[in-house]
Amino acid sequence: MLKIFKTLMEKVNVLGISHAGHDVGEKNIYNAPRLRDRPELYTLHGQIQHKKDFLDEYIPHGSRICFIGHSIGSKVVVELMSHLDQTRPNDPKPCGYLLFPTIERMAETPQGQRLRMLLGPFRTPAVYASYMVYFLPEFVKNALVSWYISQPEKEDLISSVGQALKTVVNPNVLEKSLYMANDELAVVRELDVKSLIRHGDRGTVPNQCLVSSEVVSQIPGLKIV
């Protein structure tokens, strides 16, 4: 995000928002509602609503907005563009960059089929196993991150990626992340052609990101760059 901000000569506000419950707060304090108390907050629909609420509360009317979404974030971007079209019809139309979009038939993909086992019967054991990693001494976790990245000379990379990896193994975060991923497999099925056609001339996909021929053929305005 800082790189994007500097590339735009620090003249454009760049905001990032994580999925609800997928991050820890300041001083590593985790205060999101528990999954068993509010499961609806952590489904794909709940996460999309979370982003809609953020836009409605914090982004002024009249703002020119360009979304960037990766993987399931691309699905979220399409939904947010529809939301703004409906709630702010007189505002500048938002645009979206979809990076490696997962917007159709997730459960039918090879990766989706492999994930079914982890996200089904092994989801709870995976969360319990994360406790063992989470409570390791910090220097041990740092060493594991350095070994995993296998590039010990790149301290900046280890620092940024390491913090993200250590957040993911927080049992509270992992539980909600796996819960959402399991919901995605069930919910993301048929391509939302109507929404994509409506926003197609404002959507861009980098050409190194794999997009099915069905998406390309049905969304004539979508830009592959």
Q: In the prediction, which pLDDT does 151 show?
A: 59
pLDDT tens by residue, 25-75: 765 567 889 999 999 999 999 999 999 999 999 999 999 999 999 999 999
- Would residue 136 count as lying in a domain? yes
User: Rounded to an integer, what distance in angstroms lies between the CA atom of residue 178 and that of residue 79?
Assistant: 21
What residues form DSSP beta bridges with 68? 97
- The answer to whether residue 29 is domain-embedded is no
Residues 101 and 198 in one domain: yes
Q: Alpha carbon of 108 to those of 141, 160, 178, 181, 219: distances in Å?
A: 35, 33, 18, 14, 21
If asked whether residues 178 and 197 sit together in one domain, one would say: no
158 pLDDT more than 70: no
Residues 89 and 123 in one domain: no
Long-range residue pairs from 194-197, CB within 8 A, at least 24 positions apart, any chain: 195/78, 195/79, 195/81, 195/82, 196/78, 196/103, 196/222, 197/221
> Is there a single domain that holds both residue 180 and residue 220?
no
Is 23 inside a domain boundary? Answer: no
Confidence category of residue 152, pLDDT binned at 50, 70, 90 = low
As a whole number of angstroms, the distance between CA 109 and CA 218 comes to: 20
Q: How far apart are CA 82 and CA 200, in angstroms?
A: 12
pLDDT for position 183: 96
Tally the domains of the chain: 2
The reported pTM is 0.86
Residue 168, pLDDT score: 85
Residue-level pLDDT at 119: 86
State residue 194's pLDDT score. 84
What is the enclosing helix (H) or strand (E) of 55? helix 44-58
77 lies in the same domain as 181? no
Q: Are residues 101 and 39 in the same domain?
A: yes
Domain that holds residue 42: 35-105+190-225
Same domain, 49 and 86: yes
Report if residue 8 sits inside a domain.
Answer: no
Range from 89-93, 161-165, 172-176, 208-212 carrying the lowest mean pLDDT: 208-212
Rounded mean pLDDT, 121-127: 89
Residue 111 lies in a domain: no
Q: Is residue 15 part of a domain?
A: no
64-73, 183-192, 205-214, range with the lowest pLDDT: 205-214
User: Quick one: 55 and 161 in the same domain?
Assistant: no
Q: How far is the C-alpha of 65 from the C-alpha of 96, rounded, in Å?
A: 9
Asked whether residue 11 is domain-assigned, the answer is no
Tokens of 36: 């068993």
Amino acid 74: pLDDT: 93
Same domain, 40 and 100: yes
| Whether 67 and 160 share a structural domain | no
Q: Are residues 130 and 78 in the same domain?
A: no
Q: Is 96 exposed, middle or buried (0-12, 13-18, 19+ CB in 10 A)?
A: buried
Percent of the chain scored above 70 by pLDDT? 83
| Same-domain pairing of 80 and 138 | no
Summary mean pLDDT of the chain: 85
